Amino acid sequence: MSIDGNHAGPEVTGVTPEGAAWLASAGTYPRSTRVLWDDRPTAPVVLACGSAFDVVNAPALFGRHMLDRLWAEGPGSGPVAAHRGRMLLFAAPGTAQRLPSLLEWEEWGSGGASERGRAIPPLLCHGTGDAVTVPAPTPLAPPMPTAATRLGSRWLVAPDTRAPWLPGPEIMLWAAIRAARSVARRRLSEPSPTVPISIFPPADQDAKVYDVSRRR
């Protein structure tokens, strides 16, 4: 993974024409979706899961940890979007059905009663019969980021080919477990409550830029 050393903020990327064609292929009427984007390139759209992709929908912070693990120690990721405080990690079709079973089998069932289960927050898995709102191909560029724009829809890793590589359920399981362990280690290393802690997040907390050339 390549991380930008400057702290100017995240680089918002747009979808290539090939990536837009792949996204549109998930819809019932791909041509209509393409026409919509030709007329309104900044319009989000609802697309069905299960054919071109599944989506693992995680809380924003935990999803960021999963994404970091995928790029720092794993094979990279497929397309990734942020939407209303959640992280949408695009995965191979079938992942939505298989991932919850793998988590339970490994005793990491998200939101479960065990200590392991509580380490992974509830992950929403969208597959056949589900639909998700995907960000527009062309990102809006407000003069100054605001809380509202940060909670809106934007691509973190935009689709750039007609056949992007998508992680399967085993890789998503690995990323979730690594993320949970990373969060646990971070909590153990946190200063004691007697040490003053700033209530303000670091200015560069979202300054990571993912090098999509590594994505398979």
Least confident of 106-110, 142-146, 183-187: 142-146
Task: For residues 107-111, give the mean pLDDT.
Answer: 67
- Whether the model pTM is above 0.85: no
Confidence of residue 216 (pLDDT cuts 50, 70, 90): low
Tell me, what's the pLDDT at 195? 45
pLDDT in tens, 3-23: 333 323 334 457 999 999 999
Q: CA 106 from chain center: how many Å?
A: 23
